Amino acid sequence: MTKRATWMAAAAVHLSLAGAALAADLPATTINVVGNLGITTQSKKLEAPFWNEVVKEKSNGAITANFRPWNEMGLKGSEVFKLLSQGVMNIASAQLGHHSGADPINDGNDLAGLSENFAQFKELTTAYFPVLQKYYRDNLGLHLITMQSFQDQVLYCTKEIKTLKDLQGRRIRGSGASQSDFVGYFGATPVDMSFGDVQPALEQGVLDCAITGTLGGYTAKWYESAKYLYTLPLNFGANAIVANAAWWDGLAPEVQEFLTTEIGALSDQMWALNAEEDEIGSQCNTTGPCAMGEPGGMVLVEPSAEDIALRHEALTNAVLPGWIKRCGDVCKTAFNESLAPIAGLSIK
């Protein structure tokens, strides 16, 4: 073995031992965690194994978690941050659109029509992180740890759709106020409905369309009633992992550092998974190939250049004005200072 190889092997051993020593020094900590929607691949492949196995393993057993997705607790999603701020749980993962009614600032980086693609959404999210982190601390008693995504949020419709103009008169389920403003601009009626109720509502004709991620809709079997998948991304399902601030501040600094690092790595995996699953979801909902099961057989409808222009029109004429009306100067300032340079527009 060369001197360089010997040195590198010794360094690797040293780092491994140092990491083990650090983990061994962590004080025993039990965390009550509420995860995101449990039927998603993000929850099944990444979040659940992370809290049930990875954290314990990497901390040499010092840190353990009691983990349950919010839907398995009988929640609709919008209650999570309130319960978290009350100390009912220590850490929670939640989609920010569910919390935009109580705090409209949550919509900022993922306003319907704002991002042209996944890469731009990630750039906007990075820029918006310090804005939300400060707001959560100052107003909600929460500590923002990471932000991430779901897949492209697209339309599943029971009747044929060729363009955004076809939304006129349809009843559409969305997951946040900005989606409601977006579909309302085209004459649709937005409907507030929990995720688990969407499939029977589509089947019974209570809904004409519903919005969710490309793979999330497949795993929920929306294709059994919705026959048209309109793939223009309206937004990207902004998500966050957040802690109760008082609980977080009471942790030993080494536990805070451990969790920040490991949850950051989990967040990176979520970004990568969701970018990959966009195309997988479209394939599984339509004609395949689909490694997750039988293709759903939906008709794939791709947006035209006109619809891409209409998306921006809805953003400037309905989504941004509606958001500022709900949120006020705090959101106008946040947008112009952190998001405007990336989005290429500002709020006057």
Mean pLDDT of the chain: 90
For residue 213, the surrounding DSSP H or E stretch is strand 209-213
Token pair listed for 14: 């040293």
H or E stretch covering 14: helix 3-24
Q: Which of 54, 137, 40 is nearest to 94 (CA)?
A: 40
Q: What is the pLDDT of residues 93-103, one digit of tens each?
A: 988 988 888 89
Tokens found for residue 253: 């600094």
Is the pLDDT at 78 greater than 90? The verdict is: no
Distance CA 189, CA 205 (A): 14
Q: How far apart are CA 102 and CA 27, in angstroms?
A: 36
pLDDT computed for residue 23 by the predictor: 54
**Furthest-apart CA pair in the chain: how many Å?**
74
**Burial (Cβ within 10 Å: 0-12, 13-18, ≥19) of residue 132:** buried
Mean pLDDT of 30-45: 88
Both tokens assigned to 283: 């394939």
Structure tokens at 170: 């349809």
- Stated length of the chain: 348
As its CATH architecture, domain 153-235+288-343 has 3-Layer(aba) Sandwich (3.40)
pLDDT tier at 165, thresholds 50, 70, 90: very high
Residue at 264: amino acid letter: G
Residue 97: per-residue pLDDT: 83
Average pLDDT over every residue of 4-32: 58
CA 65 to chain centre: 21
Distance CA 346, CA 140 (A): 27
Which pLDDT does position 11 carry in this prediction?
Answer: 41
**Residue 230 near residue 154 (C-beta atoms within 8 A):** yes
In angstroms, the CA 171 to CA 169 distance is 7
Contact between 104 and 331 (Cβ < 8 Å)? yes
Distance CA 267, CA 265 (A): 5
Which residue do the tokens 């196995």 mark?
53
Domain 27-150+237-277, CATH: 3.40.190.170
Distance CA 71, CA 35 (A): 9
Is residue 3 scored above 80 in pLDDT?
Answer: no
Chain region(s) in the chain for CATH 3.40.190.170: 27-150+237-277, 153-235+288-343
**Sheet containing 228-235: order of strands:** 189-192, 171-174, 209-213, 153-157, 228-235, 299-301
265: buried, middle or exposed (CB in 10 Å: 19+, 13-18, 0-12)? Answer: middle
Quote the pTM value.
Answer: 0.86
How far apart, in whole angstroms, are the C-alpha atoms of residue 320 and residue 181? 9
